[in-house]
Every structure is written in C-alpha cells, then in structure tokens.
Amino acid sequence: MHHLTEEQINELKAILLEMRRKLIESAEQQIKDPSNVVFEGGDEIDRADMETDRFITFRIRGREAKLIHKIDYALMKIEMGNYGICENCGTEIPYERLKARPVTTMCIKCKELEEEMEND
C-alpha cells in the first residue's frame, strides 16, 4: 500500500475503529430494546410473533457481525501492509474510495462486476 501515506492510513484506521465501536454499540442497543428490532425488520412485522422477533434479532446480529468481520479484516490488512490493494486484480485502490468505503477490498471496476451478484 505504497500509494497511501502514513497519515492517510492512520486516518482510515481511525474511521474503521469508530465504525466498529458504533456497530457494537447499536447492536447491543437493538438486542436490549425489542422495538428497535421490530422496526429494523421492516415488512416482516406483520408476522411479528415471538418466533419472528427472534428471527429478526438474529438477522440483524448476523448482518452487523458480517460488517464487524469486514472491519476486522481491513484492520488486519493494515497491520499486514496489504490494505488498499484490490483483491481481484491487484490495483491500488485510491484513497478517496477507501475513505468513502474503508472496508472495501476491491477497486471500483471489480466491484461493479461483482455488484449484480452481491449487493454490498
């Protein structure tokens, strides 16, 4: 990641750590407050019996856990020194893109190709 300065890396790292902190905080609140869980569940509210509530709670936790995992992965890559390199084609991902989406592991071109399969 020679295209990034130490200052830029530190800034991206701070963004990632802040994202991680907020995710854990909101996940904890959602688990504590059942009304948030139902709200996040959207159109599945009409079947909001006990079983459905539990299902939605798990889904939120799963989605947030997935993002937390992505953040951890990005932080690990920073430590290893290969952060900001597209995992698909090896292109250096511009700082502006990393700042907008610090968990990204692909350049814009590769991401666009993948977009139809996985909405990220």
- Nearer CB in complex with Zn ion: 33/114: 114
Smallest distance from the beta carbon of 113 to Zn ion, in angstroms? Answer: 9
- Tokens read off for 61: 């936790």
**Residue 27 binds Zn ion, judged by CB under 5 A:** no
CA 46/CA 103 separation, integer angstroms: 34
Smallest distance from the beta carbon of 22 to Zn ion, in angstroms? Answer: 28
CA 95/CA 100 separation, integer angstroms: 9
Smallest distance from the beta carbon of 27 to Zn ion, in angstroms? Answer: 31
**Residue 107 binds Zn ion, judged by CB under 5 A:** yes
- Nearer CB in complex with Zn ion: 33/112: 112
* C-beta separation of 99 from 15 below 8 A: yes
Residue 114's nearest CA partner among 80, 92, 89, 81 is 89
Of residues 64-93, which lie at the interface with Zn ion (CB under 5 A)? Answer: 86, 88-89, 91
CA 80/CA 83 separation, integer angstroms: 8
Q: Which residues bind Zn ion (CB under 5 A)?
A: 86, 88-89, 91, 107, 110
